[in-house]
Chains A and B, each alone.
Chain A
Amino acid sequence: MKTLLSSLIISAHLFTFSVIAADDKAVATLRHQTEIKEQQTPNPIPRVVNKDIKRERNYPMQPPVIPHTIRGYEVNKNNNKCLTCHSRQSTEDSQAPMVSVTHFMNRDGNFLAEISPRRYFCNQCHVPQMDAKPLIENTFVDMHSLMKQKTSASQ
């Protein structure tokens, strides 16, 4: 019984290894099939888009992307650099968009006086954009275009 079990385990292992070996070339990795012992030349680091122009959102609930650099901006227990311009009190001076009202809500939907702690860490959702070629083609189609296609097809 014992030998049967161990031979089963060994054969199972062999099978997995062969599957891995077969898929070795098929899976696209970040290393681009570079040998494990070799160091790949890193790609040049693209620049952060710093034009201060709002980008279109792909769907209404999408967190807007940050259209400027945020190098060295601290968002931690001690302070939140984003709020220097985007807080309710400073938008008149900065003319930056105010943090949306949803960020003042706690999870029961009640409005707080300050940004809710669960929405405090801006970079969890909002990110700057790089001026880079996408690694893979994006086939996302937004709702608006879909509906348009549908109406034009039915006509």
Chain B
Amino acid sequence: MKNLLKIGWRTLTQPSAYYSLGFLVLGGFIAGIIFWGGFNTALEVTNTEEFCVSCHEMENNVYQELKTTIHFSNRSGVRATCPDCHVPHKWTDKIARKMQASKEVWGKIFGTIDTREKFQAHRRKLAENEWTRLKANDSLECRNCHNFDYMDFTEQSDRASHQHSTALASGEKTCIDCHKGIAHQLPDMKGVEGW
């Protein structure tokens, strides 16, 4: 084992004896493209709804609940899929979230929420994670589609335009403060502000 490491280290530190510099540079470049492309493709595959609902935890709980809401079916046919709301769109934030998701892989392996009862028991905690995230980034994932600057208050109902032109406009409140449970059912809301 020690010898093997030694040989490896020597190969890495010594100049190449057989391959030309051009081959190594070009080869490395092409391998880099393939690796990077492959990495991003794999990442994008995990960023689809099909991937999310391939686990029964997601398919049987949150996905079924989403189906009844306006973010699934509506007059104009624009749809939000899981990653639209749950994964940041900017690359660095996305990678950070994907690293956090390793905890979810752990949960999947050990069946933390593999029954409806377990899911319900964890629901408040899971919901709070998402509320905190959206509160911290000023509901960025909502705003990726719902841009405040382009909201036409005259098209909104009186109550909506009142709230949006005061509390939301001043930055005192952010989307998630009022719009909790818009895509999934709510947990026990005891002690949650505004409920």
Minimal beta-carbon separation of B38 from chain A (angstroms): 41
Query: How far, in whole Å, are A72 and B68 apart by their CA atoms in the complex?
Result: 8
Interface 0/1 of B51-78, CB less than 8 Å to A:
0000000000000000011100000000
- Residues of A participating in the B interface, judged by any CB pair closer than 8 Å: 50-52, 68-69, 71-72, 74, 77-79, 83-84, 90
The one of A68, A72, A74, A77 in contact with B159, judged by C-beta atoms closer than 8 angstroms, is: A68
State which of B70, B181, B185 has its C-beta within 8 Å of the C-beta of A71: B70
User: Which residues of B have CB within 8 Å of A68?
Assistant: 157, 159
A52–B70 Cα gap in the complex (Å)?
Answer: 21
B88 within 8 A of A: no
B188 near A52 (CB under 8 angstroms)? no
In the assembled complex, which residues on chain A have CB atoms less than 8 Å from the CB atom of B68?
A: 72
Distance, CA A51 to CA B115, complexed state (A): 42
Say yes or no: A52 contacts B189, CB within 8 Å.
no
In the complex, A68 Cα to B188 Cα: how many Å? Answer: 25
- A72 near B189: Cβ-Cβ < 8 Å: no
Kindly supply a per-residue 1/0 record for chain B positions 134-178, scoring 1 wherever the CB is within 8 Å of any chain A CB and 0 otherwise.
000000000000000000000001110000000000000000000
In the assembled complex, which residues on chain A have CB atoms less than 8 Å from the CB atom of B187? 78
Chain B residues closer than 8 Å to A69, beta-carbon distance: 157
Chain A residues positioned under 8 Å from B189 (CB to CB): 78-79
Sample (15) of A-B pairs whose CB atoms are under 8 Å apart? A50-B157, A51-B158, A52-B158, A68-B157, A69-B157, A71-B70, A72-B69, A72-B70, A74-B186, A77-B188, A78-B185, A78-B188, A78-B189, A79-B186, A83-B195
Q: How many B residues have CB within 8 A of the partner chain?
A: 15
Judging by beta carbons under 8 Å apart, are B195 and A84 in contact?
A: yes
> How many A-B contacts if CB must be within 8 Å?
32
Min C-beta distance of B177 to chain A, whole Å: 11
Q: Is B194 an interface residue (CB 8 A)?
A: yes
5 smallest beta-carbon distances between A and B, as pairs: A79-B189, A78-B188, A52-B158, A79-B186, A50-B157
Q: Does B158 lie within 8 Å of A72, measured CB to CB?
A: no
Residues of B close to A71: CB separation below 8 A? 70
| Smallest CB separation, A30 vs chain B (Å) | 24
Taking the complex as formed, is B182 at the interface, i.e. its CB lies under 8 A from any CB of chain A? yes
Known: A71-B70, A72-B70. A79 touches B188 (CB 8 A): yes
> In the complex, are the beta carbons of A74 and B158 less than 8 A apart?
no
A74 vs B195: C-alpha distance when bound (angstroms): 11
Residue from the list A52, A79, A84 in contact with B157, Cβ < 8 A = A52
Tell me the chain B residues, 19-55 only, with Cβ under 8 Å from chain A.
Answer: none
Q: Is there contact, CB below 8 Å, between B186 and A72?
A: no
- CB contacts (< 8 Å) of B188 on chain A: these are 77-79
A74 in contact with B70 given A50-B157, A79-B195 (CB within 8 Å): no
